[in-house]
Chains A and B, each alone.
Chain A
Amino acid sequence: MKTENRLLGAGVHSLLIPDERFKTSQLTVALLMPLNKETVEQYALLPRLLIRGCAAYPDFTALHRRLNQLYGAAVTGDVARVGETQVLVLTAECTSDRYAMSGEQLTAACAELLSEMLFRPALADGVFRAEDVETERRCLAEEVRAEINEKRWYARRQAERLLCPDEAYGVGRYGDAAVIESLTPEVVTAAWQRVLREASIQLILQSDRALPEVEETLCRGFVAVSGRKPVVCHTDTVTRLPEFRRQVERMEVGQSKLVLGFRAGCAEPETGVNATRLMNALLGGTATSLLFKNVREKLSLCYYCSSVYDRMKGVLLVQSGVDEQNAERAETEILAQLEAIRRGDFTDEELEAARRSIVQSFEAVNDSQSARSAWYVSQAALEQPTTPEKTREEIEAVTREEVIAAAKRVRYECAYLLAQKGGTADE
């Protein structure tokens, strides 16, 4: 399948992906802005406001009646954190025209709505309507505060904050609830205009046929923005903590969460990224990884123990659910597994198992529109985007020595423990 990412001008890249296997059209507009503490909340709120309505459908209920008529078409809007780039993602999805029961032109109608939302939102006196802003900022602030509800996710976010206290990465993709609540229609409207002027754009248009007309409509919208000048997004991948940090937080929980934070010492676009990916899979990325086999299965120290590598930022986190009394031992064992990889103390069989697992995950990307869209959204933050096929080939070529070298680059920088109130670990 051809996936040629063309530069249409005005900083707009476009991928047209016709694929007859799918019964759905998925139209994605990704707008890339630098992630920073001053604007994170504004950009986080913006996609939610944009999809609430548009000049053609200012009324929320009427808009959703229209989407239902279009066979449950949906427009979603959210932000993703890709390294220290904040990507505003608007996606319209609908059933392909050929499956409409009465021959309706669903894809064109959906593309039209998407374009309207982006370029002609529902404004009053030139700014977003106060009631819309109030509703969406309340919802987003509530979502941010609800981070605490699911402890596994909460612990991971806390570890990120501990690891990156002074970096944009640490603020997360939504920022702070109180700041969100203070956003005004004027501020968000200015943010919308700034995004149209300054964001690099990636279009990802998937359907059962090529959609040059949709591409043209969307591109024309950006070309028409006066003074458009896309900014370059940069991720800081070199910062390290001056000293090791440890935090214990207490709450009414039954199971403790231990998260260890590492700098991987390697991030995009460096060549060692794929070796680090494979090393991460071997360490804790699969159900046969060293962490799963040894810390969970052999020692029964925790219910889950896995690692994630963010190659955009160059950080690696090991997450586990443990009994507080086992937390110290779990930490020692996790570090021992990393040390084992550094020593080359793993079998070829274990390495190949990790490789097979991630190779297959790359091979499966093109079987799902959502996975493919997510792939190219994150690639858009790179100067040299690549395909799942190419990455697969590179993973195949990584050697044992490169995996060992990748493990040696990793530096342990912080430990976060969420534990039960009244427990015993050091505060």
Chain B
Amino acid sequence: MSKWTEYTCLHTGERCYYMRHASGLPIYVWPKEGYVSSYAVFATDYGAIDTAYIDPETGKTVELPAGIAHYLEHKLFENEECDAFERYAKTGANANAYTSFDHTAYLFSCTQNLTESLEILLDFVQDPYFTEQTVEKERGIIGQEIRMCEDSPSRTVFCNLLTALYHRHPVRIDIAGTVDSIAEITPELLYGCYESFYDLQNMVLSVSGNVTCEQVEEVADRLLKPSRGNVPPRAPVVEPHTAAQARIEVRMPVAEPLFYLGYKVPLDGMKSESPQALAAAEVLQEILGGRANPLYADLMRRGLINASFGLEYFDGPGYGVWILGGESKDPEAVCEAFRAEIVRLKREGVTSEEFEAARNAVYGRLVSQFDNVESCGDLVLEAHFAERSPFAALDAVASLDVEAVYERIERDFAEDASALSLVLPLEQKG
């Protein structure tokens, strides 16, 4: 066990283990005693915001078409003989994959045959196979997926908000790209991306649930190929602190207007924020947008919001956005009330009772996540990519000081860094 480093959660006694495998891959194992199911996720620190790579032979920067990380995710499921789903069919694991702004993940959960499923996972992700024909076939399927997303008002209101807020940061571009942008994707480009970003040093494996360290290590020893030593730095983006545009609206078949009011937080570089800063954001989210704030009951009483209302802090490498949103007959009135609430908070602050209650709520919800095998695996993955230890988020909430919340209130809500995204109902004809 000496290769493994143990992390213990001071508050709950949960334990998880870490090792850097000889191949270069960081591996986390979080055994959950008494659980029948297991979850494994193998991910790379590469997502939709990585829109260029440096060709190792020419040293030149290659610009990539929007949506390529997602396209690559789809294509990796297939190798020369069959696709990964067919292989998982033999083990019964429930497998999937997703592409986010900053990472791409391949995952499965199961209650039987963990070793065999882990072999499949490690094998297919390390074995790309793209031809003109297979890449072409996928274009139709992904084209349909893009059109399905374009029909979703909740996704549209979100993507439009990011486009309005950001001038340059690639978070402003839709993860799946467009039908036009994916038309440019070729097998050569896919191999280029794979070689650059799918290096074991740039990846992580996280396994949780009914599993032991030895079990994972044994499979890793057999299947992992040595790292090529590529850890591509994330291209820095110089993003102005102001919003690109203050307002964006479209019309779609919806019952009531959907709105997202966003505030872009000024961040430098492409690092994630500290656990303390993120803990402060979570507690502030509860104070400002939670149901214990009289603002919520007031907006409800005035008929301006419904249960879809919420405030969220959305963040990743080089981006952080406060998003207030939901459905409303009168989004402008909701925004006005929210702005007034920020002014009030800046002026009056929060009572220690309010702060403690909000902190308790965030703490309790984090502890609850440990009950779920999938959540455990995902928490570790996210912590690793953000360069935090697995239990840092809970520690940061438990020891949070109200001053950190005030810092955020003062810094995060500049009006010239805000934008309103709207999806309005279609205009009635006649």
Using a CB–CB cutoff of 8 Å, the interface residues on chain A facing chain B are: 20-24, 60-61, 64-65, 67-73, 93-95, 99, 101, 131, 135, 138-139, 142-143, 145-152, 251-255, 286-288, 292, 296-297, 300, 302-304, 321-323, 349-350, 353, 356-357, 359-361, 363-364, 366-369
**How far, in whole Å, are A147 and B255 apart by their CA atoms in the complex?**
8
Nearest residue (CB) in A for B287 is: A68
List, in ascending order, chain B residues with CB within 8 A of A297's CB. 83
A255 contact from B89, B144, B301, Cβ within 8 A? B144
CB of B165, distance to nearest CB on chain A (Å): 23
**How far, in whole Å, are A255 and B140 apart by their CA atoms in the complex?**
12
**How far, in whole Å, are A255 and B252 apart by their CA atoms in the complex?**
14
Q: Is the CB of B371 within 8 A of A95?
A: no
**How far, in whole Å, are A139 and B206 apart by their CA atoms in the complex?**
41
List, in ascending order, chain A residues with CB within 8 A of B292's CB. 61, 64-65, 67-68
B150 interface contact, C-beta 8 A: yes
A252 contact from B286, B363, B372, B426, Cβ within 8 A? B426
B1 interface contact, C-beta 8 A: no
Q: Is the CB of A64 within 8 A of B37?
A: no
**How far, in whole Å, are A94 and B88 apart by their CA atoms in the complex?**
36
**How far, in whole Å, are A43 and B306 apart by their CA atoms in the complex?**
19
Nearest residue (CB) in B for A177 is: B255
Q: Is the CB of A148 within 8 A of B368?
A: no
List, in ascending order, chain A residues with CB within 8 A of B85's CB. 287-288, 292
Question: Known interface pairs A95-B367, A149-B153, A367-B35. Does A68 touch B141 (Cβ–Cβ under 8 Å)?
Answer: no
Q: Is the CB of A93 within 8 A of B151?
A: no
Q: Is the CB of B367 within 8 A of A23?
A: yes
List, in ascending order, chain A residues with CB within 8 A of B227's CB. none
**B58-66, B108-116, B310-318, B380-388 - interface stretch:** B108-116
List, in ascending order, chain A residues with CB within 8 A of B209's CB. 367
Q: Is the CB of A303 within 8 A of B92?
A: no
CB of B308, distance to nearest CB on chain A (Å): 8
**How far, in whole Å, are A303 and B144 apart by their CA atoms in the complex?**
6
**How far, in whole Å, are A145 and B257 apart by their CA atoms in the complex?**
12
Q: Is the CB of B293 within 8 A of A61?
A: yes
Question: Known interface pairs A23-B371, A69-B357, A367-B36. Does A321 touch B110 (Cβ–Cβ under 8 Å)?
Answer: no
**How far, in whole Å, are A23 and B372 apart by their CA atoms in the complex?**
10
CB of B35, distance to nearest CB on chain A (Å): 5
CB of A351, distance to nearest CB on chain B (Å): 11
List, in ascending order, chain B residues with CB within 8 A of A70's CB. 360, 364
**A-B pairs with lowest CB-CB distance, top 10:** A356-B92, A71-B364, A72-B361, A303-B144, A353-B89, A72-B364, A68-B357, A145-B255, A363-B111, A288-B89
List, in ascending order, chain A residues with CB within 8 A of B109's CB. 364
Nearest residue (CB) in B for A358 is: B92
Q: Is the CB of B286 within 8 A of A150?
A: no
B368 contact from A68, A93, A349, Cβ within 8 A? A93
- Which B residues from 121 to 175 make CB contacts under 8 A with A? 137, 140-141, 144-145, 147-148, 150-154
CB of A24, distance to nearest CB on chain B (Å): 5
List, in ascending order, chain A residues with CB within 8 A of B33's CB. 21
**How far, in whole Å, are A350 and B360 apart by their CA atoms in the complex?**
49
CB of A76, distance to nearest CB on chain B (Å): 10
B398 interface contact, C-beta 8 A: yes
List, in ascending order, chain A residues with CB within 8 A of B112's CB. 356, 359-360, 363
**How far, in whole Å, are A294 and B300 apart by their CA atoms in the complex?**
48
List, in ascending order, chain B residues with CB within 8 A of A254's CB. 147-148, 150-151
**How far, in whole Å, are A253 and B153 apart by their CA atoms in the complex?**
11
Q: Is the CB of A146 within 8 A of B256?
A: yes
List, in ascending order, chain A residues with CB within 8 A of B34's CB. 20-21
List, in ascending order, chain B residues with CB within 8 A of A148's CB. 253-255
- Which B residues from 212 to 270 make CB contacts under 8 A with A? 252-256, 258
Please list 30 pairs of residues, one from A and one from B, whose beta carbons are closer than 8 Å in the complex, sorted by A's number: A21-B371, A24-B371, A60-B300, A61-B292, A61-B296, A61-B297, A65-B357, A67-B291, A68-B360, A71-B360, A73-B364, A99-B11, A138-B306, A139-B306, A143-B308, A146-B327, A148-B255, A150-B153, A150-B154, A254-B150, A287-B94, A287-B95, A297-B83, A300-B137, A303-B144, A321-B148, A353-B92, A357-B94, A360-B112, A364-B109
B32 interface contact, C-beta 8 A: yes
Q: Is the CB of A99 within 8 A of B89?
A: no
**How far, in whole Å, are A71 and B290 apart by their CA atoms in the complex?**
13
Nearest residue (CB) in B for A98 is: B12
Q: Is the CB of B368 within 8 A of A101?
A: no
Q: Is the CB of A68 within 8 A of B90?
A: no
Question: Known interface pairs A99-B11, A300-B137. Does A142 touch B368 (Cβ–Cβ under 8 Å)?
Answer: no
B303 interface contact, C-beta 8 A: yes
**How far, in whole Å, are A359 and B37 apart by their CA atoms in the complex?**
12
List, in ascending order, chain A residues with CB within 8 A of B32's CB. 21
B294 interface contact, C-beta 8 A: yes
**How far, in whole Å, are A322 and B102 apart by their CA atoms in the complex?**
30
Question: Known interface pairs A61-B294, A150-B154, A356-B112. Does A135 touch B301 (Cβ–Cβ under 8 Å)?
Answer: yes
Q: Is the CB of A142 within 8 A of B327?
A: yes
CB of B30, distance to nearest CB on chain A (Å): 13
**How far, in whole Å, are A364 and B96 apart by their CA atoms in the complex?**
17
Q: Is the CB of B361 within 8 A of A255?
A: no
List, in ascending order, chain A residues with CB within 8 A of B367's CB. 23-24, 71, 95, 99
Nearest residue (CB) in A for B372 is: A368
CB of A77, distance to nearest CB on chain B (Å): 11
**How far, in whole Å, are A71 and B360 apart by their CA atoms in the complex?**
4
Most chain A beta-carbon neighbours within 10 Å: one of B12, B36, B144, B145: B144
Q: Is the CB of B37 within 8 A of A367?
A: yes
List, in ascending order, chain A residues with CB within 8 A of B300's CB. 60, 135, 139
**How far, in whole Å, are A250 and B85 apart by their CA atoms in the complex?**
35
CB of B288, distance to nearest CB on chain A (Å): 13
B255 contact from A94, A142, A300, Cβ within 8 A? A142
Question: Known interface pairs A71-B360, A71-B363, A149-B254. Does A302 touch B144 (Cβ–Cβ under 8 Å)?
Answer: yes
Q: Is the CB of A139 within 8 A of B11?
A: no
Q: Is the CB of A288 within 8 A of B363?
A: no
List, in ascending order, chain B residues with CB within 8 A of A149's CB. 152-154, 253-255, 258
B338 interface contact, C-beta 8 A: no
**How far, in whole Å, are A199 and B425 apart by their CA atoms in the complex?**
40
CB of A102, distance to nearest CB on chain B (Å): 9
List, in ascending order, chain A residues with CB within 8 A of B92's CB. 353, 356-357, 359-360
Nearest residue (CB) in A for B142 is: A303
Q: Is the CB of B361 within 8 A of A68?
A: yes
Extra A-B contacts (11), CB below 8 Å, given A142-B255, A322-B144: A21-B33, A22-B371, A65-B292, A70-B360, A71-B364, A93-B368, A99-B364, A99-B367, A142-B327, A143-B307, A251-B253
Q: Is the CB of A72 within 8 A of B363?
A: yes
B7 interface contact, C-beta 8 A: no
Most chain B beta-carbon neighbours within 10 Å: one of A22, A68, A95, A143: A68
List, in ascending order, chain B residues with CB within 8 A of A364's CB. 36-37, 109, 111
**How far, in whole Å, are A68 and B353 apart by their CA atoms in the complex?**
10
Nearest residue (CB) in B for A65 is: B292
**How far, in whole Å, are A67 and B357 apart by their CA atoms in the complex?**
8
